[in-house]
Each structure stands twice: as structure tokens, then as C-alpha cells.
Amino acid sequence: MDEILEILGEVKPGVNFEGETDLVESGILDSMTIIQLVARLTDEFDIEITPLDLVPENFNSVEAIKALVDRLAD
């Protein structure tokens, strides 16, 4: 979780991500930031994220991102 928070802080500085549950719909994470995030996640966790994974439900909160990473790492 800490690693994900660290990456989020780098791609989108100045946001307190903990407790946020609406990151995509509220516009905090737009498609460009999501792609930056995906590039970092694939590199960091050695996973493959496909366009089908790029849905708001997978990126709306830190927990959702963690769940996506865990699922793809399996």
C-alpha cells in the first residue's frame, strides 16, 4: 500500500490520497495521470495492465489500485 501511495504522490503531487474513494469521477486522476500511474505500476510490480483494466472501479481509491495490482500479480 505504501509503495502505491508513493507512486501516486509522484504522478499527482499535492493530493492526500488516503480515504479518497472517487479519484476518477472527481477528476483527480484523469486519463493522462492514469497512464503515468500504469507505466509506474507495471514497472514496479512487473505486471501487465490491459485497456480492459482501465475502468474507474480499478482506480477510484488506493485500495482499488492495490486490489488490481494483487489480482494481476497472481
**Does residue number 19 form part of the binding site for another protein (CB under 8 A)?**
no
Q: Whose CA is closest to 29, among 39, 43, 19, 15?
A: 15
Q: Are 62 and 47 in contact (CB under 8 A)?
A: no
Q: Nearest approach, Cβ of 14 to another protein (angstroms)?
A: 3
**Does residue number 38 form part of the binding site for another protein (CB under 8 A)?**
yes
Q: Nearest approach, Cβ of 17 to another protein (angstroms)?
A: 13
And the C-alpha cell for 43? Answer: 514497472
Contacting residue, 10, 18, 22, 63, with another protein by CB under 8 A: 10
Half-sphere exposure of 11 (CA within 13 A, CB side): 20
Which stretches of the chain bind another protein, using CB under 8 A? 10-14, 27, 30-33, 35-40, 42-43, 49-52, 54
